Structure 1
Amino acid sequence: MKIAFLTDSGTGKSIQEMKDHGIFSLPLQIMIENQNYLDIEECSINDILTNLKKEKVIKTSLPPLGIIEETISHIKEEGYTHIVAVPMSKGLSGTYDAIEMIANQLEMPITMIDTYVAAYVQEHIILYLKQFTDQGGSLDEALSNIQSTIESCNTILIPDDLSHLKRSGRLTTFAATLASFLKIKPILSLNKSTLGKVDVVDKVRTLSKAMDLAVEKMKKDFVDKSYKVFIAHVDAMESAIILKEKILHMFHDLKVEIIELYAPIAVHTGIGCIGIQYFKPAK
Protein backbone atom coordinates (compact mmCIF):
# COMPACT_ATOMS: atom_id res chain seq x y z
CA MET A 1 0.00 0.00 0.00
CA LYS A 2 1.44 3.35 -1.10
CA ILE A 3 0.14 6.01 1.31
CA ALA A 4 -0.22 9.74 0.62
CA PHE A 5 -0.49 12.06 3.61
CA LEU A 6 -2.73 15.08 3.23
CA THR A 7 -3.41 18.09 5.46
CA ASP A 8 -4.38 21.78 5.13
CA SER A 9 -2.97 25.18 6.09
CA GLY A 10 -4.51 24.88 9.56
CA THR A 11 -1.03 23.59 10.39
CA GLY A 12 0.31 27.10 9.85
CA LYS A 13 2.62 25.79 7.14
CA SER A 14 2.74 26.52 3.42
CA ILE A 15 2.23 23.97 0.65
CA GLN A 16 6.00 23.94 0.02
CA GLU A 17 6.90 23.53 3.70
CA MET A 18 4.71 20.44 3.96
CA LYS A 19 5.92 19.16 0.58
CA ASP A 20 9.47 19.26 1.98
CA HIS A 21 8.27 16.59 4.45
CA GLY A 22 6.62 14.54 1.70
CA ILE A 23 3.12 15.71 2.69
CA PHE A 24 0.41 17.20 0.47
CA SER A 25 -1.34 20.30 1.79
CA LEU A 26 -4.45 22.29 0.85
CA PRO A 27 -4.70 26.06 1.41
CA LEU A 28 -7.71 27.30 3.34
CA GLN A 29 -9.34 30.50 2.09
CA ILE A 30 -9.28 33.93 3.71
CA MET A 31 -11.98 36.37 2.58
CA ILE A 32 -11.26 40.06 3.11
CA GLU A 33 -14.09 42.39 2.07
CA ASN A 34 -15.45 39.74 -0.35
CA GLN A 35 -12.02 39.16 -1.94
CA ASN A 36 -10.74 35.58 -1.64
CA TYR A 37 -7.11 34.72 -0.89
CA LEU A 38 -5.35 31.39 -0.36
CA ASP A 39 -4.12 31.16 3.23
CA ILE A 40 -0.32 31.60 3.51
CA GLU A 41 0.15 31.35 -0.26
CA GLU A 42 -1.50 34.73 -0.96
CA CYS A 43 -2.30 36.10 2.50
CA SER A 44 0.07 36.19 5.48
CA ILE A 45 -0.63 36.70 9.18
CA ASN A 46 0.74 40.24 8.77
CA ASP A 47 -1.87 40.90 6.08
CA ILE A 48 -4.52 39.64 8.50
CA LEU A 49 -3.27 41.90 11.31
CA THR A 50 -3.26 44.94 9.02
CA ASN A 51 -6.85 44.34 7.95
CA LEU A 52 -8.06 43.50 11.46
CA LYS A 53 -6.70 46.85 12.64
CA LYS A 54 -8.68 48.51 9.84
CA GLU A 55 -11.78 46.68 11.17
CA LYS A 56 -12.42 45.05 7.81
CA VAL A 57 -14.78 42.08 7.61
CA ILE A 58 -12.64 38.96 7.37
CA LYS A 59 -13.94 35.41 7.11
CA THR A 60 -12.49 31.99 6.41
CA SER A 61 -13.57 29.08 4.26
CA LEU A 62 -12.48 25.59 3.27
CA PRO A 63 -9.98 25.17 0.41
CA PRO A 64 -11.46 25.65 -3.08
CA LEU A 65 -13.17 22.43 -4.13
CA GLY A 66 -11.29 22.54 -7.43
CA ILE A 67 -7.94 22.49 -5.63
CA ILE A 68 -9.07 19.58 -3.43
CA GLU A 69 -10.17 17.59 -6.51
CA GLU A 70 -7.00 18.49 -8.40
CA THR A 71 -4.78 17.44 -5.47
CA ILE A 72 -6.51 14.10 -4.89
CA SER A 73 -6.50 13.36 -8.64
CA HIS A 74 -2.76 14.10 -8.72
CA ILE A 75 -2.21 11.80 -5.74
CA LYS A 76 -4.05 9.01 -7.56
CA GLU A 77 -2.10 9.61 -10.78
CA GLU A 78 1.17 9.38 -8.83
CA GLY A 79 0.32 5.78 -7.95
CA TYR A 80 -0.75 6.21 -4.35
CA THR A 81 -3.34 3.66 -3.27
CA HIS A 82 -4.51 5.22 0.00
CA ILE A 83 -4.77 8.68 1.59
CA VAL A 84 -4.44 9.54 5.25
CA ALA A 85 -5.92 13.01 5.81
CA VAL A 86 -5.48 15.23 8.87
CA PRO A 87 -7.39 18.46 8.17
CA MET A 88 -8.46 21.20 10.55
CA SER A 89 -11.06 20.11 13.11
CA LYS A 90 -14.38 19.09 11.61
CA GLY A 91 -16.03 21.38 14.17
CA LEU A 92 -14.18 24.41 12.78
CA SER A 93 -14.14 23.83 9.04
CA GLY A 94 -15.92 22.02 6.23
CA THR A 95 -12.58 20.79 4.88
CA TYR A 96 -12.91 17.35 6.51
CA ASP A 97 -16.24 16.62 4.79
CA ALA A 98 -15.09 18.06 1.46
CA ILE A 99 -11.93 15.93 1.33
CA GLU A 100 -13.86 12.78 2.24
CA MET A 101 -16.60 13.49 -0.32
CA ILE A 102 -14.22 14.18 -3.21
CA ALA A 103 -11.99 11.19 -2.38
CA ASN A 104 -15.06 8.96 -2.46
CA GLN A 105 -16.18 10.46 -5.78
CA LEU A 106 -12.75 9.74 -7.23
CA GLU A 107 -12.83 6.23 -5.75
CA MET A 108 -9.70 6.89 -3.71
CA PRO A 109 -9.53 4.96 -0.41
CA ILE A 110 -9.06 7.39 2.47
CA THR A 111 -8.63 7.42 6.24
CA MET A 112 -9.92 10.63 7.83
CA ILE A 113 -8.58 11.81 11.19
CA ASP A 114 -10.29 14.48 13.27
CA THR A 115 -7.85 16.05 15.73
CA TYR A 116 -10.66 18.24 17.17
CA VAL A 117 -8.25 21.18 16.99
CA ALA A 118 -5.84 22.82 14.54
CA ALA A 119 -2.44 24.53 14.67
CA TYR A 120 0.57 22.74 16.15
CA VAL A 121 -1.27 19.54 17.12
CA GLN A 122 -2.51 19.10 13.58
CA GLU A 123 1.03 19.53 12.28
CA HIS A 124 2.48 17.19 14.92
CA ILE A 125 0.05 14.40 14.05
CA ILE A 126 0.50 14.50 10.27
CA LEU A 127 4.30 14.62 10.63
CA TYR A 128 4.28 11.78 13.14
CA LEU A 129 2.14 9.54 10.91
CA LYS A 130 4.39 10.18 7.90
CA GLN A 131 7.64 9.62 9.81
CA PHE A 132 6.40 6.54 11.67
CA THR A 133 5.27 4.76 8.51
CA ASP A 134 8.38 5.87 6.58
CA GLN A 135 10.46 4.13 9.26
CA GLY A 136 8.61 0.87 8.67
CA GLY A 137 5.86 1.14 11.27
CA SER A 138 2.37 0.03 10.36
CA LEU A 139 -0.37 2.56 9.72
CA ASP A 140 -2.64 0.84 12.25
CA GLU A 141 -0.01 1.18 14.96
CA ALA A 142 0.61 4.82 14.06
CA LEU A 143 -3.12 5.57 14.23
CA SER A 144 -3.30 3.90 17.62
CA ASN A 145 -0.32 5.90 18.91
CA ILE A 146 -1.84 9.29 18.06
CA GLN A 147 -4.96 8.65 20.15
CA SER A 148 -3.21 9.73 23.34
CA THR A 149 -2.30 13.02 21.66
CA ILE A 150 -5.88 13.65 20.56
CA GLU A 151 -7.28 12.66 23.97
CA SER A 152 -4.83 14.81 25.94
CA CYS A 153 -4.98 17.92 23.77
CA ASN A 154 -6.72 21.10 24.85
CA THR A 155 -6.77 24.56 23.32
CA ILE A 156 -7.77 27.53 25.48
CA LEU A 157 -8.42 30.93 23.92
CA ILE A 158 -8.85 34.29 25.65
CA PRO A 159 -10.06 36.95 23.17
CA ASP A 160 -9.43 40.56 24.07
CA ASP A 161 -11.96 42.18 21.72
CA LEU A 162 -15.24 40.40 21.02
CA SER A 163 -16.01 42.64 18.05
CA HIS A 164 -13.92 40.35 15.83
CA LEU A 165 -16.02 37.34 16.82
CA LYS A 166 -19.13 39.43 16.14
CA ARG A 167 -17.95 40.57 12.69
CA SER A 168 -16.94 37.05 11.68
CA GLY A 169 -20.35 35.72 12.68
CA ARG A 170 -19.01 33.51 15.52
CA LEU A 171 -20.83 35.62 18.16
CA THR A 172 -24.14 37.51 18.02
CA THR A 173 -24.13 41.31 18.08
CA PHE A 174 -26.20 41.30 21.28
CA ALA A 175 -23.88 38.89 23.10
CA ALA A 176 -20.77 40.81 22.04
CA THR A 177 -22.25 44.17 23.04
CA LEU A 178 -23.47 42.85 26.40
CA ALA A 179 -20.11 41.22 27.19
CA SER A 180 -18.22 44.39 26.28
CA PHE A 181 -20.58 46.54 28.38
CA LEU A 182 -20.15 44.27 31.39
CA LYS A 183 -16.40 44.01 30.69
CA ILE A 184 -16.63 40.22 30.57
CA LYS A 185 -13.75 38.18 29.18
CA PRO A 186 -14.91 34.75 27.99
CA ILE A 187 -12.53 31.80 28.22
CA LEU A 188 -12.98 29.60 25.16
CA SER A 189 -11.91 26.02 24.66
CA LEU A 190 -11.87 23.40 21.94
CA ASN A 191 -10.93 19.75 22.30
CA LYS A 192 -12.41 16.30 21.84
CA SER A 193 -15.08 16.87 24.48
CA THR A 194 -16.37 19.94 22.58
CA LEU A 195 -16.22 17.93 19.31
CA GLY A 196 -13.73 20.43 17.97
CA LYS A 197 -16.12 23.36 18.28
CA VAL A 198 -15.33 26.53 20.21
CA ASP A 199 -17.13 26.47 23.56
CA VAL A 200 -17.32 29.04 26.36
CA VAL A 201 -15.99 27.39 29.52
CA ASP A 202 -15.97 30.41 31.85
CA LYS A 203 -16.38 34.19 32.04
CA VAL A 204 -14.30 36.59 34.13
CA ARG A 205 -13.75 40.34 34.43
CA THR A 206 -9.98 40.66 33.93
CA LEU A 207 -7.30 39.24 31.67
CA SER A 208 -5.18 38.31 34.69
CA LYS A 209 -8.03 36.26 36.16
CA ALA A 210 -8.60 34.58 32.78
CA MET A 211 -4.93 33.61 32.66
CA ASP A 212 -5.09 32.22 36.20
CA LEU A 213 -8.10 30.06 35.33
CA ALA A 214 -6.38 28.79 32.18
CA VAL A 215 -3.33 27.75 34.19
CA GLU A 216 -5.59 26.13 36.78
CA LYS A 217 -7.24 24.14 33.99
CA MET A 218 -3.81 22.84 32.98
CA LYS A 219 -3.30 21.68 36.57
CA LYS A 220 -6.65 19.88 36.55
CA ASP A 221 -5.64 18.17 33.31
CA PHE A 222 -2.49 16.86 35.05
CA VAL A 223 -0.13 18.57 32.62
CA ASP A 224 3.49 17.63 33.31
CA LYS A 225 6.88 17.75 31.60
CA SER A 226 5.81 15.05 29.13
CA TYR A 227 3.48 17.60 27.49
CA LYS A 228 4.24 20.07 24.73
CA VAL A 229 2.92 23.53 25.58
CA PHE A 230 2.48 26.46 23.22
CA ILE A 231 1.25 29.97 23.91
CA ALA A 232 -0.21 31.57 20.79
CA HIS A 233 -1.04 35.23 20.44
CA VAL A 234 -2.43 37.76 17.96
CA ASP A 235 -0.18 40.82 18.18
CA ALA A 236 -0.08 40.42 21.98
CA MET A 237 3.47 39.41 22.85
CA GLU A 238 3.44 41.25 26.18
CA SER A 239 0.39 39.30 27.38
CA ALA A 240 1.90 36.06 26.05
CA ILE A 241 5.05 36.62 28.12
CA ILE A 242 2.99 37.27 31.27
CA LEU A 243 1.00 34.08 30.65
CA LYS A 244 4.23 32.12 30.16
CA GLU A 245 5.51 33.41 33.50
CA LYS A 246 2.30 32.30 35.21
CA ILE A 247 2.58 28.82 33.67
CA LEU A 248 6.22 28.41 34.67
CA HIS A 249 5.42 29.57 38.20
CA MET A 250 2.95 26.66 38.46
CA PHE A 251 4.93 24.13 36.38
CA HIS A 252 8.65 24.64 36.93
CA ASP A 253 9.90 21.91 34.57
CA LEU A 254 7.72 22.67 31.54
CA LYS A 255 9.08 23.93 28.25
CA VAL A 256 6.76 26.62 26.90
CA GLU A 257 7.08 28.09 23.41
CA ILE A 258 5.44 31.34 22.29
CA ILE A 259 4.14 31.47 18.70
CA GLU A 260 1.80 33.62 16.60
CA LEU A 261 -1.75 32.31 16.39
CA TYR A 262 -2.35 30.97 12.89
CA ALA A 263 -4.44 33.08 10.51
CA PRO A 264 -7.56 30.85 10.21
CA ILE A 265 -8.10 31.16 13.98
CA ALA A 266 -6.74 34.70 14.43
CA VAL A 267 -9.33 35.99 11.95
CA HIS A 268 -12.11 35.07 14.37
CA THR A 269 -10.51 35.75 17.75
CA GLY A 270 -9.03 39.11 16.75
CA ILE A 271 -6.12 41.25 17.88
CA GLY A 272 -5.08 40.85 21.50
CA CYS A 273 -6.17 37.22 21.77
CA ILE A 274 -3.89 34.83 23.62
CA GLY A 275 -4.21 31.08 23.89
CA ILE A 276 -2.64 27.91 25.20
CA GLN A 277 -2.40 24.59 23.40
CA TYR A 278 -1.05 21.57 25.26
CA PHE A 279 -0.87 17.86 24.48
CA LYS A 280 1.11 14.65 24.92
CA PRO A 281 3.27 13.99 21.84
CA ALA A 282 2.76 10.68 20.10
CA LYS A 283 5.50 8.10 20.69
Structure 2
Amino acid sequence: MEKIALITDSASDVSLDFVKENNIKVVPFKIIFSDREYNDAIELTSEMLYELLPKEVPTTSLPSTDKFAELLTSLKDEGYTHAIIITISSGLSGTYNSARLAAESVNGIETFVFDSMTLTMSEGAMVIETANLIKEGKSFKEITEFLPSLRDKIDVFFTIDTLEYLIKGGRIGKVAGTIATTLNLKPIITVGNDGIYHTAAKVRGVKQSISKLSTLLKPYLEKGKCKVWVLNGGAPEKAKVLYQSIKDFPNIIECTLGGCIAPSLGVHTGPGLVGLIVEKMY
Protein backbone atom coordinates (compact mmCIF):
# COMPACT_ATOMS: atom_id res chain seq x y z
CA MET A 1 0.00 0.00 0.00
CA GLU A 2 1.43 3.35 -1.05
CA LYS A 3 1.61 6.21 1.43
CA ILE A 4 2.48 9.37 -0.52
CA ALA A 5 3.92 12.53 1.06
CA LEU A 6 3.65 15.92 -0.67
CA ILE A 7 6.40 18.50 -0.24
CA THR A 8 6.81 22.00 -1.66
CA ASP A 9 8.77 25.18 -0.95
CA SER A 10 7.40 28.38 0.53
CA ALA A 11 7.36 30.14 -2.86
CA SER A 12 4.29 28.09 -3.84
CA ASP A 13 2.00 30.41 -1.81
CA VAL A 14 -0.46 27.64 -0.90
CA SER A 15 -2.71 28.81 1.94
CA LEU A 16 -1.80 27.71 5.45
CA ASP A 17 -5.27 26.20 5.92
CA PHE A 18 -4.92 24.01 2.83
CA VAL A 19 -1.39 22.99 3.88
CA LYS A 20 -2.66 21.87 7.30
CA GLU A 21 -5.76 20.11 5.98
CA ASN A 22 -3.72 18.08 3.51
CA ASN A 23 -0.58 17.51 5.61
CA ILE A 24 1.64 19.19 3.01
CA LYS A 25 5.23 19.74 4.08
CA VAL A 26 6.55 23.21 3.23
CA VAL A 27 10.31 23.83 3.22
CA PRO A 28 10.94 27.57 3.69
CA PHE A 29 13.36 29.91 2.01
CA LYS A 30 15.47 32.13 4.28
CA ILE A 31 15.17 35.93 4.20
CA ILE A 32 18.51 37.42 5.28
CA PHE A 33 18.84 40.96 6.65
CA SER A 34 22.08 42.43 7.97
CA ASP A 35 21.08 41.81 11.60
CA ARG A 36 18.85 38.74 11.38
CA GLU A 37 17.56 35.95 9.15
CA TYR A 38 13.98 34.69 9.02
CA ASN A 39 12.17 31.59 7.81
CA ASP A 40 10.03 32.67 4.87
CA ALA A 41 6.34 33.22 5.67
CA ILE A 42 6.80 31.71 9.15
CA GLU A 43 8.90 34.23 11.08
CA LEU A 44 8.51 37.04 8.54
CA THR A 45 5.16 37.97 7.03
CA SER A 46 4.75 39.80 3.74
CA GLU A 47 3.43 42.86 5.57
CA MET A 48 6.57 42.95 7.71
CA LEU A 49 8.76 42.64 4.62
CA TYR A 50 7.17 45.60 2.81
CA GLU A 51 7.64 47.73 5.94
CA LEU A 52 11.35 46.82 6.07
CA LEU A 53 12.16 47.09 2.34
CA PRO A 54 12.63 50.90 2.26
CA LYS A 55 15.36 50.55 4.90
CA GLU A 56 17.11 47.44 3.57
CA VAL A 57 16.67 45.02 0.68
CA PRO A 58 17.49 41.59 2.11
CA THR A 59 18.83 38.58 0.27
CA THR A 60 17.20 35.17 0.05
CA SER A 61 18.65 31.72 0.59
CA LEU A 62 17.14 28.59 -0.91
CA PRO A 63 16.20 25.50 1.13
CA SER A 64 19.32 23.37 1.50
CA THR A 65 19.82 19.79 0.37
CA ASP A 66 20.19 18.85 4.04
CA LYS A 67 16.76 20.31 4.86
CA PHE A 68 15.09 18.25 2.15
CA ALA A 69 17.07 15.14 3.16
CA GLU A 70 16.12 15.52 6.83
CA LEU A 71 12.46 15.86 5.88
CA LEU A 72 12.54 12.82 3.56
CA THR A 73 14.22 10.75 6.28
CA SER A 74 11.60 11.74 8.87
CA LEU A 75 8.78 10.95 6.42
CA LYS A 76 10.30 7.54 5.73
CA ASP A 77 10.42 6.93 9.48
CA GLU A 78 6.71 7.87 9.67
CA GLY A 79 5.90 5.11 7.20
CA TYR A 80 5.69 7.05 3.94
CA THR A 81 6.69 4.91 0.97
CA HIS A 82 6.71 7.68 -1.65
CA ALA A 83 7.22 11.45 -1.80
CA ILE A 84 6.43 14.07 -4.43
CA ILE A 85 8.38 17.34 -4.23
CA ILE A 86 7.13 20.30 -6.30
CA THR A 87 9.57 23.20 -6.49
CA ILE A 88 9.86 26.75 -7.79
CA SER A 89 11.27 27.06 -11.32
CA SER A 90 14.86 25.89 -11.71
CA GLY A 91 15.31 28.95 -13.93
CA LEU A 92 14.71 31.24 -10.93
CA SER A 93 16.19 29.25 -8.03
CA GLY A 94 18.48 26.33 -7.20
CA THR A 95 15.76 24.74 -5.04
CA TYR A 96 14.94 22.03 -7.60
CA ASN A 97 18.58 20.95 -7.62
CA SER A 98 18.72 20.89 -3.79
CA ALA A 99 15.64 18.68 -3.66
CA ARG A 100 16.93 16.40 -6.43
CA LEU A 101 20.25 15.84 -4.64
CA ALA A 102 18.38 15.10 -1.40
CA ALA A 103 16.13 12.59 -3.13
CA GLU A 104 19.20 10.80 -4.51
CA SER A 105 20.78 10.65 -1.05
CA VAL A 106 17.86 9.19 0.91
CA ASN A 107 17.08 5.51 0.41
CA GLY A 108 13.91 3.70 1.41
CA ILE A 109 11.42 6.26 0.10
CA GLU A 110 10.74 6.63 -3.63
CA THR A 111 10.88 10.34 -4.43
CA PHE A 112 9.82 12.28 -7.52
CA VAL A 113 11.12 15.85 -7.76
CA PHE A 114 9.08 18.01 -10.12
CA ASP A 115 10.26 21.36 -11.49
CA SER A 116 7.14 23.53 -11.73
CA MET A 117 9.01 25.87 -14.12
CA THR A 118 7.08 28.70 -12.47
CA LEU A 119 6.36 30.22 -9.05
CA THR A 120 3.72 31.56 -6.64
CA MET A 121 0.20 30.18 -7.18
CA SER A 122 1.17 28.73 -10.58
CA GLU A 123 3.35 26.37 -8.57
CA GLY A 124 0.71 26.32 -5.85
CA ALA A 125 -2.01 25.21 -8.27
CA MET A 126 0.09 22.12 -9.05
CA VAL A 127 0.49 21.45 -5.33
CA ILE A 128 -3.28 21.76 -4.79
CA GLU A 129 -4.12 19.42 -7.69
CA THR A 130 -1.54 16.90 -6.49
CA ALA A 131 -2.92 16.97 -2.94
CA ASN A 132 -6.40 16.32 -4.32
CA LEU A 133 -5.15 13.39 -6.42
CA ILE A 134 -3.46 11.86 -3.36
CA LYS A 135 -6.71 12.25 -1.43
CA GLU A 136 -8.60 10.54 -4.27
CA GLY A 137 -6.29 7.54 -3.97
CA LYS A 138 -4.44 7.95 -7.26
CA SER A 139 -1.17 6.02 -7.45
CA PHE A 140 2.29 7.57 -7.32
CA LYS A 141 2.82 6.56 -10.96
CA GLU A 142 -0.48 8.10 -12.09
CA ILE A 143 0.24 11.40 -10.36
CA THR A 144 3.84 11.76 -11.50
CA GLU A 145 2.87 10.99 -15.11
CA PHE A 146 0.07 13.57 -14.94
CA LEU A 147 2.13 16.49 -13.58
CA PRO A 148 3.85 17.55 -16.85
CA SER A 149 0.48 17.95 -18.61
CA LEU A 150 -0.86 19.90 -15.63
CA ARG A 151 2.13 22.28 -15.81
CA ASP A 152 1.22 23.05 -19.44
CA LYS A 153 -2.27 24.19 -18.37
CA ILE A 154 -1.15 26.94 -15.96
CA ASP A 155 0.14 30.44 -16.75
CA VAL A 156 1.04 33.53 -14.74
CA PHE A 157 0.95 37.23 -15.67
CA PHE A 158 1.86 40.11 -13.37
CA THR A 159 2.98 43.70 -13.36
CA ILE A 160 5.19 45.55 -10.89
CA ASP A 161 5.80 49.20 -10.04
CA THR A 162 9.55 49.03 -10.67
CA LEU A 163 12.06 46.61 -12.17
CA GLU A 164 14.62 47.71 -9.58
CA TYR A 165 14.18 44.67 -7.34
CA LEU A 166 14.24 42.11 -10.15
CA ILE A 167 17.44 43.67 -11.46
CA LYS A 168 19.07 43.75 -8.00
CA GLY A 169 18.18 40.12 -7.39
CA GLY A 170 19.45 38.98 -10.78
CA ARG A 171 16.00 37.63 -11.69
CA ILE A 172 15.30 39.91 -14.66
CA GLY A 173 15.26 37.09 -17.23
CA LYS A 174 14.23 38.31 -20.69
CA VAL A 175 12.45 41.43 -19.38
CA ALA A 176 13.93 44.63 -20.79
CA GLY A 177 15.52 46.59 -17.97
CA THR A 178 15.09 50.11 -19.35
CA ILE A 179 11.49 50.46 -20.44
CA ALA A 180 9.96 51.30 -17.08
CA THR A 181 12.38 54.09 -16.25
CA THR A 182 12.75 55.73 -19.63
CA LEU A 183 9.17 55.75 -20.88
CA ASN A 184 7.05 55.11 -17.78
CA LEU A 185 6.05 51.86 -19.46
CA LYS A 186 5.16 48.93 -17.25
CA PRO A 187 5.87 45.41 -18.46
CA ILE A 188 3.35 42.65 -18.02
CA ILE A 189 5.63 39.78 -17.05
CA THR A 190 5.06 36.07 -17.61
CA VAL A 191 7.14 32.95 -17.04
CA GLY A 192 8.07 31.19 -20.26
CA ASN A 193 8.48 27.49 -20.99
CA ASP A 194 12.15 27.99 -20.12
CA GLY A 195 11.15 28.86 -16.54
CA ILE A 196 12.38 32.47 -16.59
CA TYR A 197 10.70 35.88 -16.86
CA HIS A 198 9.59 37.28 -20.22
CA THR A 199 7.68 40.41 -21.22
CA ALA A 200 4.15 39.52 -22.35
CA ALA A 201 3.12 43.13 -23.03
CA LYS A 202 4.05 46.77 -22.30
CA VAL A 203 1.55 49.30 -21.01
CA ARG A 204 1.59 52.82 -19.65
CA GLY A 205 0.34 53.38 -16.11
CA VAL A 206 -1.43 51.36 -13.43
CA LYS A 207 -4.97 51.46 -14.85
CA GLN A 208 -3.80 50.27 -18.23
CA SER A 209 -1.75 47.48 -16.68
CA ILE A 210 -4.78 46.12 -14.79
CA SER A 211 -6.90 46.44 -17.93
CA LYS A 212 -4.25 44.57 -19.94
CA LEU A 213 -4.18 41.73 -17.40
CA SER A 214 -7.94 41.34 -17.91
CA THR A 215 -7.45 41.34 -21.69
CA LEU A 216 -4.75 38.66 -21.50
CA LEU A 217 -7.18 36.40 -19.60
CA LYS A 218 -9.98 36.53 -22.18
CA PRO A 219 -8.50 34.20 -24.85
CA TYR A 220 -8.20 31.45 -22.22
CA LEU A 221 -11.86 31.84 -21.27
CA GLU A 222 -13.01 31.85 -24.90
CA LYS A 223 -11.65 28.32 -25.23
CA GLY A 224 -13.19 26.86 -22.06
CA LYS A 225 -13.53 26.88 -18.29
CA CYS A 226 -10.67 28.12 -16.10
CA LYS A 227 -9.69 28.65 -12.48
CA VAL A 228 -8.13 32.03 -11.70
CA TRP A 229 -6.13 33.39 -8.75
CA VAL A 230 -5.44 37.10 -8.29
CA LEU A 231 -1.95 37.94 -7.01
CA ASN A 232 -1.12 40.69 -4.54
CA GLY A 233 2.43 41.77 -3.74
CA GLY A 234 2.01 44.67 -1.36
CA ALA A 235 -0.79 46.10 -3.51
CA PRO A 236 -4.09 44.93 -1.99
CA GLU A 237 -6.19 47.73 -3.50
CA LYS A 238 -4.92 47.06 -7.02
CA ALA A 239 -5.57 43.34 -6.51
CA LYS A 240 -9.17 44.09 -5.47
CA VAL A 241 -9.69 46.21 -8.59
CA LEU A 242 -8.40 43.38 -10.80
CA TYR A 243 -10.51 40.82 -8.95
CA GLN A 244 -13.68 42.90 -9.33
CA SER A 245 -12.99 43.42 -13.04
CA ILE A 246 -12.66 39.70 -13.87
CA LYS A 247 -14.60 37.67 -11.29
CA ASP A 248 -17.84 37.57 -13.30
CA PHE A 249 -16.25 36.73 -16.66
CA PRO A 250 -17.95 33.75 -18.34
CA ASN A 251 -16.14 30.42 -17.94
CA ILE A 252 -14.34 31.34 -14.71
CA ILE A 253 -15.38 28.46 -12.47
CA GLU A 254 -13.35 29.68 -9.50
CA CYS A 255 -11.79 33.12 -8.90
CA THR A 256 -9.70 33.52 -5.76
CA LEU A 257 -8.43 36.78 -4.32
CA GLY A 258 -5.51 35.41 -2.36
CA GLY A 259 -3.33 36.86 0.33
CA CYS A 260 0.04 38.47 -0.25
CA ILE A 261 2.76 36.58 -2.13
CA ALA A 262 5.50 35.06 0.02
CA PRO A 263 8.23 37.37 1.36
CA SER A 264 10.84 35.34 -0.58
CA LEU A 265 9.10 36.45 -3.78
CA GLY A 266 8.34 39.99 -2.59
CA VAL A 267 12.06 40.61 -2.03
CA HIS A 268 12.61 40.23 -5.78
CA THR A 269 9.54 42.14 -7.02
CA GLY A 270 9.19 44.92 -4.45
CA PRO A 271 5.84 46.42 -3.44
CA GLY A 272 3.15 47.13 -6.01
CA LEU A 273 2.75 43.74 -7.70
CA VAL A 274 -0.63 42.70 -9.06
CA GLY A 275 -1.26 39.76 -11.33
CA LEU A 276 -3.20 36.61 -12.07
CA ILE A 277 -2.77 32.88 -12.45
CA VAL A 278 -4.95 31.00 -14.91
CA GLU A 279 -5.41 27.22 -14.91
CA LYS A 280 -7.11 25.78 -17.98
CA MET A 281 -9.66 23.10 -17.12
CA TYR A 282 -9.88 21.92 -20.73
Normalized against structure 1, the TM-score is what?
0.84
Change (3 A) 1:16 1:258: closer
Rounded to whole Å, the distance in 2 between the matches of 1:128 and 1:71 is 22
More strand by proportion, 1 or 2? 2
Query: Retained in 2: the 8 A contact 1:188–1:201?
Result: yes
Change (3 A) 1:57 1:256: same
Name the residue aligned to 1:202.
201
Change (3 A) 1:41 1:246: closer
Query: Retained in 2: the 8 A contact 1:13–1:40?
Result: no
Change (3 A) 1:5 1:241: closer
Q: Per-residue CA shift, 1:243-262, capped at 9, x if unaligned? A: 2343357x245343222223
Name the residue aligned to 1:275.
275
2:138 pairs with 1:137: yes
Instruction: Give the letter for the 1:161 counterpart.
Output: T
Name the residue aligned to 1:60.
60
Q: Per-residue CA shift, 1:78-125, capped at 9, x if unaligned? A: 233322111222222211111111110223432122222233343333
Query: Retained in 1: the 8 A contact 2:92–2:171?
Result: no
Rounded to whole Å, the distance in 1 between the matches of 2:55 and 2:224 is 40
Rounded to whole Å, the distance in 1 between the matches of 2:14 and 2:82 is 23
Query: Retained in 2: the 8 A contact 1:15–1:26?
Result: no
Query: Retained in 2: the 8 A contact 1:155–1:189?
Result: yes
RMSD after superposition? 2.9
1:274 deviates by: 0.7
Name the residue aligned to 1:87.
87
Change (3 A) 1:137 1:40: same
Rounded to whole Å, the distance in 2 between the matches of 1:227 and 1:161 is 30
Change (3 A) 1:6 1:210: same
Rounded to whole Å, the distance in 1 between the matches of 2:243 and 2:99 is 37
Choose 8-17 or 136-145, whichever is displaced more: 8-17
Name the residue aligned to 1:241.
240
Instruction: Give the letter for the 2:119 counterpart.
Output: A
- Equivalent position SS for 1:204: strand
- The answer for unaligned runs of 5 or more in structure 1 is none
Change (3 A) 1:214 1:14: closer
Q: Per-residue CA shift, 1:214-255, capped at 9, x if unaligned? A: 222222334667211111122222222332343357x24534
